[in-house]
Amino acid sequence: MNGFVGAPRSGTCLWITLCCLILTTYIGWPKIATVGKITSISEVETAGIVHLGCIVTVLFDTGANLTVMIKSPQETDPEHGIISYESPLGKALLKTREGDVVEYHVGEKVMSARVINIIETQTDATRIY
Q: Where are the domains of the chain?
A: 48-126
Give the tens place of pLDDT for each residue, 81-110: 999 999 999 999 999 999 999 999 999 999
Pairing of strands 82-84, 65-71: parallel
Looking at residue 56, what is its pLDDT? 97
pTM equals 0.60
What is the per-residue pLDDT across 16-27, written as a single tens digit (0 to 9) for each? Answer: 655 555 555 555
Predicted pLDDT at 31: 45
CATH number corresponding to 48-126: 3.10.50.30
pLDDT the model gives residue 11: 55
Least confident among 32-36, 90-94, 112-116 = 32-36
Residue 48, CA distances (Å) to 44, 72, 88, 107 in order = 9, 20, 21, 30
